[in-house]
Amino acid sequence: MMDFRIPLGEWVETAVDWLRDNLSGLFDVITVVVRFLVDGLTDILLAVPVPAMILIFALIGWLVRSWQMAVGTAVAFLLIVAMGLWVATMQTLSLVLVATVVALAIAIPLGIWSARNDTVRAILKPVLDFMQTMPAFVYLIPAITFFSIGVVPGLVATVIFALPPGVRLTELGIRGVDSETVEAGQAFGATPSQILRGIQLPLATPTIMAGVNQVIMLALSMAVLAGIVGADGLGKIVVQSVSTVNLALGVEAGLGVVIIAVYLDRVTAALGNPADYRSSLLGVLARRRSARSATPEQPSNEDSQNHARAEDLRPAGSR
């Protein structure tokens, strides 16, 4: 039997080495930008006093969902403080938020392009399939090669891992818009960009927000794995608890991750379907505005007197 093997792994390693040697300047720029964003956001979150930060999180929950969520948010984050994990939680939250923003900045335009161009869709589909099915740990290997260890390879791997659902659900939302509605906009002379901004994106918002939700959840799961490459936060604590078989520390860090995940999931779900949450502060304000606009204006006394004078001045035959 002939011994035949395709050295695909060696080819990929050669390509990665070539990129590292020839694009080191680009990787240095990415490193500086990522560290600035993540460290800057972490410093902002930690600069705010803890009670004020918890109040902000609770108000966001009340604003978009309900007062019950505001109370639950306050209790949950007070538990994080009581476990001594506030700094690590803010570090993880910063990593997740920055990775989510970067992933969405890439995913949403790609999803729109894919929805409007069948050729792009045909090219992206197998690429996204490959990205979704590749084990998450594999993304950490080239990230370490390009960016050494720390928060940067963790964020880059997180962005790559969380990208596919954002692209897919954005495309699904745009393609799911009723064709008759789009044709009506075209009949009135709207340009493709006007149709996109005024018809397709507003109607596709719930589906796109579902994609945002999935991107955040995947980014959070990958941010924990980023602790393996030295990224600060709850993931690093989880890795330490595994290496030292410290069950208590692992449970506390895992609970912190769960709290962040549930909070971000509820907030993004409420933003995607604001009409479903009538007890939210935004919902209450919207209903009050609708009630005021629906109430007919009562004529003032001065208007009634002017109308009566006009009636008196009209000729008798025209009354």
Q: Please report the pLDDT score of residue 35 as a whole number.
A: 86
From 76, 59, 73, select the one nearest 280 (Cα to Cα): 59
Q: Is 120 exposed, middle or buried (0-12, 13-18, 19+ CB in 10 A)?
A: middle
81 lies in some domain: yes
Mean pLDDT within 177-195: 82
pLDDT of residue 102 exceeding 50: yes
Q: Tell me if 199 is assigned to some domain.
A: yes
Work out the angle at residue 312's Cα, subtended by the Cα atoms of residues 310 and 313, and round it to the nearest 5 degrees. Answer: 65
* Residue 75 parent element (H or E): helix 67-82
Is residue 150 in some structural domain? yes
pLDDT for 291-315, tens place per residue? 776 655 555 555 555 444 444 444 4
Query: Do the beta carbons of residue 154 and residue 95 sit within 8 Å?
Result: yes
Poorest-pLDDT segment among 131-145, 155-169, 191-205, 291-305: 291-305
- Is residue 316 in some structural domain? no
Q: Over pLDDT 90: what percentage of the chain? A: 9
Say what the pLDDT of residue 313 is. Answer: 43
State how many domains the chain has. Answer: 1
In a domain, 167, yes or no: yes
> CB neighbours of 61 closer than 8 A, spacing ≥ 6?
69, 70, 72, 73, 263, 266, 267
Mean pLDDT across 156-176? 87
> Residue 271: pLDDT above 80?
no
In a domain, 314, yes or no: no
CATH label of the domain that carries residue 99: 1.10.3720.10
Cα distances from 98 to residues 37, 167, 226, 250, in angstroms, run: 7, 17, 14, 25
In the prediction, which pLDDT does 309 show?
47
Euclidean distance between CA atoms 295 and 304, whole angstroms: 19
Lookup: tokens for 163: 């990208």
Residue 181 lies in a domain: yes
In tens, the pLDDT along 20-74 reads 778 778 888 888 888 888 889 989 989 989 999 999 999 988 888 788 888 999 9
pLDDT at 108 over 50: yes
Q: Report, as an integer, the average pLDDT of 254-261.
A: 88
Residue 216 lies in a domain: yes
